[in-house]
Structure 1
Amino acid sequence: MKLAVKQQANVQDTLKRVKDEVHPAPKTVPHNVVKTKKPQAPKKLFPDSALFQRWGEDLPEAEQRKAQDLFHRFGYNVYLSNQLPLDRSLPDTRDSRCLQKTYPSQLPSLSVILIFMDEALSVIQRAITSIINRTPLWLLKEIILVDDFSSNGELKIPLNEKIEFYNQMYPGLLKIIRHAERKGLAHARNTGWKAASADVVVILDAHVEVNVGWAEPILARIQEDRTVIISPVFDNVRFDTFQLLKYEVAVDGFNWQLWCRYDFVPQTWIDLGDVTAPVRSPSIMGILAANRLFLGEIGALDDGMLVYGGENVELSLRVLKEEPGGRYTLPVLTLAIVTCIALMVSDSDHQNANNIQLAGCWKTLERIFSGDNPQFPHLWSTPSNSGIDYGDISSKRMLQEKLKCKSFDWYLKNVYPVLKPIPIHDIVGYGRMKNSLDKGICLDRGPVTNNIPIMYACHELGSQYVYYRLTGEFYVGSLVAEVHSDDLCLTDPGHREEPTLEQCSKAAQNKLHIYWDFKQGGAMVNRDTHRCLEIRREPSGTYVPVLQTCTAQVWEIQYTLGNLSQTNVL
């Protein structure tokens, strides 16, 4: 009996313990303690916005809306910029050997030109503040702001008031010039250059922050050689967090869209073993420094370039000059990257017209890109190939003759050999490719991490550039501009339905099936497998490219040249 009672008591204890664990009794709270509820994290209103991928985790919803609105308007995190100190500290990203360099006590005077159009006021103020705080004042003669017809209200009276405030502390240091209509970057930079009075001009965008010791290497290099134009190495300030990201030393180049790009430094500079030495560059970015008078002697920037893009490449090309004895160098303009500075830049359809005008100024480019029958207008998304009027360029060619500029052919061979020539002479079709089953979709390069082409809604971007060569290859995607890289060729692997994209040189070496027969408005037939590239509708409703026995499907390429005869039009 005692054992049974004890066992019953154990069962009751167990049941009570389980009950307490599942439904615990409320704890007694002392009368003087207030129980608080843990706040919930704000709901993410814009989970797909680039602004909130690394920033704004705990931002209240109303502030998220405000930040996203400013981001949509400016393209960078103005909400955060407005909260950061104007004189915030920045890490010194220079190589330690740069800190050991010394510069002459007597250096040229400096005019800093800041170009802007609808930037955020706090970003412009931070640029001004960094220049004042990190430039020796005995060198800094003036800061010239050029407003290229901004519509942002805070860049009117509020900016004038800020300038007046700065000038109370530094009399006459800041000047502002406002365009009555939008002129573009090249014109705005020339406006600032014409207004400058110092020995050296440094032309910057207004969304920059300069770091400690930025000016002395530039001024010292130009003092050594007044014909040097400097394109400084700069780091990056992230558009979302305003965190500084260090960029490694690189030289400035461009691709066949004539957009700027970074190239590897030459081996000759590496062999010097001196990271503080300037390095020659085949081109310049828009940010540059030059002797003010010398920049005028070579014609300054081409302010016929409208709004944005191309003027930096044009300046780079213009200065090739013949030396006595028939030797060609870069005697007038030594494009130089100065490595011992830290200049930060935050991320932020006239490019087409500018590039075509640039092509018109240089006969080799003119043969490639313009003239009576422009062969590659798609490089700048030009809507047709009926001829392009790029205006009167006679004065530009007269300037080239005055400067004794060498040809673009010579430039490619002697100055920029890493720019891979376009196979211009045997490309007979190019642009977007459409199939007869659906005219709204185009053959597309697809994700860069994959080697499978796709069909995608037609657009003007480089992933849908297709080039058909007389030799039979189809290049898919933007033309590769680097000598050491390769274009992608459309391939029939022979053993599956999916076509692939392979590097052309390797595909040819491996005897893959990269040669196709095609006539405008006809089938795309692989020469080796005799299969056709066609498209098939999936159960989801999307189309995919497939390789199969030829049916009645036909293709059309956007532009045809030379031997690619036109049989049908979709």
Structure 2
Amino acid sequence: VLNDIIFSLADWSKVNANASGCDHVTAKPVEITDEKQNKYFKWGQEKFAYDVLASDKIGPRRPLDPMYHTLCKNLSYDDIKLSASIVIIYHNEALSVLIRMINSILDRTPSEYLKEIVLFDDYSHDDCIIREKLLEYGLVEKWPLNKIINERSEKRNGLIRARMAAADLASGDVLIFLDSHCEVTERWIEPLLKTIQEDRKRVVLPVIDLINPMKFDYSQAMIAKMSFDWRLSFNWVYFPWEYFDIPEHNYQPFRQVIYLTLNKLVGQRTPMMSGGLFAIDKNYFYEMGGYDKGMEIWGGENIEMSLRIWLCGGSIVVHPCSRVGHLFRMRRPYQSKAGLDTNLYNTVRAAKVWFDEYQKYFYHRRPDALKMNVGDLTERLELKKKLGCKPFKWFIEEIDPSLKPKERLEDEL
């Protein structure tokens, strides 16, 4: 099988992950036996920034033990009435990675909650076009093709605009955005939908577990919240190990803001979301202005959206009972616009709209942003006014006190 996957999907569909020695704990490294495999391996490294041979060897699906804390088993989700559209944008993704992701969703998501999976190819390179191969495998595997929307863009949009285009195709009550290199685990979707059903202005994140880019083994990540600094760089905020010596902290982080009973577990409050994986009420997504279409390709969109949610009446939580594995690639394998730092460009747009008088702290740490032209912000500023959003000072005082400036700037001394 291995590098012949794209030519023999019917055979590859029968590959057993356990027989391949690729269980979720101790995946075996792949040995390259000939020049053909070596060429394929190097191509995968260039295009995807992970070991495509290792991914192919695992096969189209693999068993994963429940990753949630045992208390989560006692939670009831019988009254969920919402359906979800899973939105997946991909640009140059390995066929085996995306197939295994789709299988994990179909295998571990109750059909009554799954409205559809929206697959949106954001103009992958010619040697990475897999749309027809996905359909071919879906016919072999007998996927419910009536629940799979499979579209390809005729131009490169970038993640931000592509997600907006794909969301327009969705019809579920809830949009669940997932990066295109994930694997969901047992009972992953129920906590997300239940939490949104209780409050449609909650944006809910799963705990993001780790998939190794070379061995493809799956490992649990520590439950953490997310923040950013004055450079607008995203940060994971972890706890010391002894914090988890108290059993309840393993399923109920941040007791000061979360209340737990046997039939209700609300996720932890977090100032930021990572951006790759989250669930949001579809109508609320559009009411809040979706993504800033003035942003370019990738970077900073998660910070902007997080600020908008908190400042304009919503909230963001991580639900400890929902866990999704994410393949953390060795690098970002695709290019941005020529000559443009898209992450800086996008964060400047966010700062200009949301930071009010605190913009100076951002520019003090990113002086290269001062002269950057980031286009017209009129629409986003009008949205801010329309939504009746709070000032950024409120965010610092109520949501993320760690951002409180600790030193005076030179012009204030």
Note whether the superposition's TM-score is higher than 0.5: yes
Per the alignment, residue 313 of structure 1 pairs with 303
Q: 1:357 to 1:163 in 2, by over 3 A?
A: farther
Unaligned runs of 5+ in 2: 1-26, 239-252, 330-340
Shift of 1:82: 1.2
Indicate if the aligned counterparts of 2:258 and 2:266 stay in contact, CA closer than 8 A.
no
Amino acid at match of 2:323: A
Per the alignment, residue 284 of structure 1 pairs with 273
Indicate if the aligned counterparts of 1:110 and 1:200 stay in contact, CA closer than 8 A.
yes
SS of the residue corresponding to residue 340 of structure 1 reads strand
Q: How does 1:135-146 map to 2 (within 5 A)?
A: 135-146=109-120
Cα offsets for 1:470-503 (capped at 9, x unmatched): 7xxxxxxxxxxxxxxxxxxxxxxxxxxxxxxxxx
Match of 1:343 among 318, 324, 341: 324
Per the alignment, residue 114 of structure 1 pairs with 88
Q: 1:139 to 1:56 in 2, by over 3 A?
A: closer
Q: 1:177 to 1:257 in 2, by over 3 A?
A: farther
Indicate if the aligned counterparts of 1:229 and 1:336 stay in contact, CA closer than 8 A.
yes
Per the alignment, residue 17 of structure 2 pairs with none
Per the alignment, residue 239 of structure 1 pairs with 213
The yes-or-no answer on 1:268 pairing with 2:256 is yes
Indicate if the aligned counterparts of 1:364 and 1:407 stay in contact, CA closer than 8 A.
no
Which stretches of structure 1, 4 residues or longer, exceed 6 Å deviation after superposition?
A: none
Amino acid at match of 2:353: C
Per the alignment, residue 132 of structure 1 pairs with 106
Indicate if the aligned counterparts of 1:234 and 1:343 stay in contact, CA closer than 8 A.
yes
Match of 2:357 among 353, 364, 377: 364
Per the alignment, residue 289 of structure 2 pairs with 299
Q: 1:223 to 1:55 in 2, by over 3 A?
A: same
Which structure exhibits the higher relative contact order, with contacts defined as CA atoms closer than 8 Å and separated by 6 or more residues? 2
Distance (whole Å) between structure 2 residues aligned to residue 160 and residue 272 of structure 1: 42
Cα offsets for 1:149-201 (capped at 9, x unmatched): 21153424543533762795414111123222222222121112211101111
Q: 1:157 to 1:295 in 2, by over 3 A?
A: closer
Q: 1:257 to 1:148 in 2, by over 3 A?
A: farther
SS of the residue corresponding to residue 318 of structure 1 reads helix
Q: 1:320 to 1:396 in 2, by over 3 A?
A: same
Q: 1:413 to 1:361 in 2, by over 3 A?
A: same
Match of 2:376 among 388, 392, 395: 392
Shift of 1:320: 4.2
Question: Which is strand-richer, 1 or 2?
Answer: 1
Distance (whole Å) between structure 1 residues aligned to residue 167 and residue 321 of structure 2: 24
Shift of 1:306: 0.9
Q: 1:416 to 1:57 in 2, by over 3 A?
A: same
Distance (whole Å) between structure 2 residues aligned to residue 82 and residue 57 of structure 1: 10
Shift of 1:376: 3.6
After TM superposition, the score normalised by the length of structure 2 is 0.79
SS of the residue corresponding to residue 280 of structure 2 reads strand
RMSD: 2.7
Indicate if the aligned counterparts of 2:93 and 2:128 stay in contact, CA closer than 8 A.
no
Q: 1:278 to 1:320 in 2, by over 3 A?
A: closer
Indicate if the aligned counterparts of 1:114 and 1:146 stay in contact, CA closer than 8 A.
yes
Per the alignment, residue 197 of structure 1 pairs with 171
Distance (whole Å) between structure 2 residues aligned to residue 166 and residue 191 of structure 1: 29
Q: How does 1:475-514 map to 2 (within 5 A)?
A: none
Shift of 1:129: 0.8
Indicate if the aligned counterparts of 1:56 and 1:64 stay in contact, CA closer than 8 A.
no
SS of the residue corresponding to residue 231 of structure 1 reads strand
CA radius of gyration, larger in? 1
Per the alignment, residue 77 of structure 1 pairs with 51
Q: 1:259 to 1:149 in 2, by over 3 A?
A: farther
Distance (whole Å) between structure 2 residues aligned to residue 105 and residue 267 of structure 1: 25
SS of the residue corresponding to residue 236 of structure 1 reads strand
Shift of 1:366: 3.3
Q: 1:232 to 1:157 in 2, by over 3 A?
A: closer
Q: 1:409 to 1:160 in 2, by over 3 A?
A: same
Distance (whole Å) between structure 2 residues aligned to residue 356 and residue 145 of structure 1: 30
Indicate if the aligned counterparts of 2:158 and 2:298 stay in contact, CA closer than 8 A.
yes
Q: How does 1:439-454 map to 2 (within 5 A)?
A: none
Q: 1:180 to 1:289 in 2, by over 3 A?
A: same
The alignment covers a number of residue pairs equal to 358
The yes-or-no answer on 1:93 pairing with 2:93 is no
